[in-house]
């Protein structure tokens, strides 16, 4: 069984926003500094429901005594994020994995940040980093439905940050969507960082098509469709353990093996990070991840999302 290195943190502050979001402040249960991170980084959190989820860090990397993150209650999801928003309380202990960064802030003379909804989280950390470095040539466009649903609205209104921020509220009406085209019509030297709902990021991708690709950066935690309606149960044979385990129709391999006592490494649990890469020894697999190459899919499987096409598969566990 693979061992996973976790850190214990305690929730020291919790703020619920518009019932759909919460902001959490996490500190080490041992006191002192938490592992260092860079702007744009995320941590993986074991939620009260048991699932592992990625959450970007919103505070400045210079603030090592706590982690600040925002969580959206995904009412159509599998309950992990919802359990943090609804069930987690100040004083609760959470297990997290150390920060990782797939959304690094590249040195540039100018920046344009675009955020929607919960996507403000890594962007805020980047703005904090630039301000602490004395870099003031940046703009932030943050789109939300209303002021009441605007995460970190109080911080964005601070005197140091407010002059750089454009807040736009569409009130849930698509006709009120922000017009990004004037910012992209003529390419500049700005590096663009975008994080938010899929339609927003697709729009920015279209608007920036005539810009140098190296200047456009996206962060997307939208998961693949893990469980599908036509899924069926199947069997996995764990060769090292020499046991057979049935994977139910509405559970992943990872979830089922954990229920059987296996301590397995994972992070995103959405097929996007590669943490749960497992040796595949035999069987026909329906690969649903966004990580493995075609060649790798002959010998590996991401057990957080992928399944047998039918019958059984053999894993190197």
DSSP string for residues in the chain: ------EEEEEEEEEEETTTEEEEEEEETT-SPPPP--TT-EEEEE-TTS-EEEEE--S-TT--S-EEEEEE--TTS-SHHHHHHHH--TT-EEEEEEEE-SS-----S-EEEEEEGGGHHHHHHHHHHHHHTT---EEEEEEES-GGG-TTHHHHTSTTTGGGEEEEE-TT-GGG----HHHHSS--SPEEEEES-HHHHHHHHHHTTTS-GGGEEEE--PPP--S-TT---EEEEETTTTEEEEE-TTS-HHHHHHHTT-----SSSSSSS-TTEEEEEES-EE---SS--TTGGGTEEETTT-EESSSEEEE--
Average pLDDT on 236-257 reads 94
Are 292 and 125 in contact by the 8 Å Cβ rule? The answer is no
Question: According to the model, what pLDDT value does residue 59 have?
Answer: 96
Are 224 and 271 in contact by the 8 Å Cβ rule? The answer is yes
Q: Kindly give, in sequence order, each residue whose CB lies less than 8 Å from that of residue 58, ignoring residues fewer than 6 positions away.
A: 23, 68, 69, 70, 120, 121, 122, 124, 125, 152
Residue with tokens 């003379």: 109
Give 230 or 41, the one with higher predicted confidence.
41
Domains in the chain: ranges and CATH: 7-100 (2.40.30.10), 111-219 (3.40.50.80), 234-315 (3.10.20.30)
Over residues 122-134, the pLDDT tens digits come to 999 999 999 999 9
Over residues 126-165, the pLDDT tens digits come to 999 999 999 999 999 999 999 998 999 999 999 999 999 9
Question: According to the model, what pLDDT value does residue 292 have?
Answer: 86
Residues 247 and 198: their CA atoms lie apart, in Å, by: 31
Residues 272 and 292: their CA atoms lie apart, in Å, by: 9
pLDDT band at 78 (very low <50, low <70, confident <90, very high): low
Q: What percent of the chain has pLDDT over 90?
A: 72
Question: According to the model, what pLDDT value does residue 224 have?
Answer: 56
Over residues 258-288, the pLDDT tens digits come to 989 998 887 667 777 778 999 999 999 999 8
Q: Residue 205: CA atoms inside 13 Å, Cβ hemisphere, count? A: 11
Assessment of whether the complete model's pTM goes beyond 0.85: no
pLDDT band at 46 (very low <50, low <70, confident <90, very high): confident
Are 207 and 199 in contact by the 8 Å Cβ rule? The answer is no
Q: Which of 37-41, 57-61, 85-89 has the lowest mean pLDDT?
A: 85-89
């Amino acid at each position: 069984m693979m061992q996973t290195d976790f850190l214990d943190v305690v929730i020291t502050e919790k703020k619920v926003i518009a019932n759909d979001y919460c902001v959490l402040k996490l500190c080490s249960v041992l006191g002192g500094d938490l592992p260092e991170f860079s702007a744009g980084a995320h941590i993986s959190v074991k939620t009260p429901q048991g699932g592992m989820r990625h959450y970007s860090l919103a505070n400045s990397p210079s603030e090592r005594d706590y982690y600040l993150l925002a969580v959206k209650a995904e009412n159509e999801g599998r309950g992990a994020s919802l359990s943090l928003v609804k069930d987690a309380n100040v004083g609760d202990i959470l297990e997290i994995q150390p920060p990782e960064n797939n959304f690094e802030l590249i040195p540039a003379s100018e920046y344009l940040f675009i955020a929607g909804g919960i996507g403000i989280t890594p962007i805020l950390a980047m703005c904090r980093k630039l301000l602490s470095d004395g870099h003031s040539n940046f703009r932030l466009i943050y789109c939300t439905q209303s002021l009441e649903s605007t995460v970190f609205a109080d911080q964005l209104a601070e005197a140091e940050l407010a002059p750089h921020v454009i807040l736009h509220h569409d009130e849930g009406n698509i006709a009120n969507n922000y017009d990004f085209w004037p910012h992209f019509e003529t390419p500049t030297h700005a590096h663009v960082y975008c994080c938010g709902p899929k339609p927003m990021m697709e729009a920015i991708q279209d608007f920036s098509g005539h810009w140098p690709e190296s200047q456009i950066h996206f962060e997307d935690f939208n998961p693949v469709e893990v469980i599908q309606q036509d899924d069926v149960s199947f069997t996995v044979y764990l060769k090292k353990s020499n046991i057979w385990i049935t994977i139910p129709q509405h559970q992943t391999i990872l979830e089922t093996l954990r229920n059987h006592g296996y301590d397995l490494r994972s992070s995103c649990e959405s097929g996007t990070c590669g943490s749960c890469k497992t040796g595949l020894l035999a069987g026909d697999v329906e690969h649903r991840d966004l990580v493995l190459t075609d060649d790798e899919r002959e010998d590996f499987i991401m057990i957080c999302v992928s399944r047998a096409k039918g019958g059984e598969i053999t894993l190197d566990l």
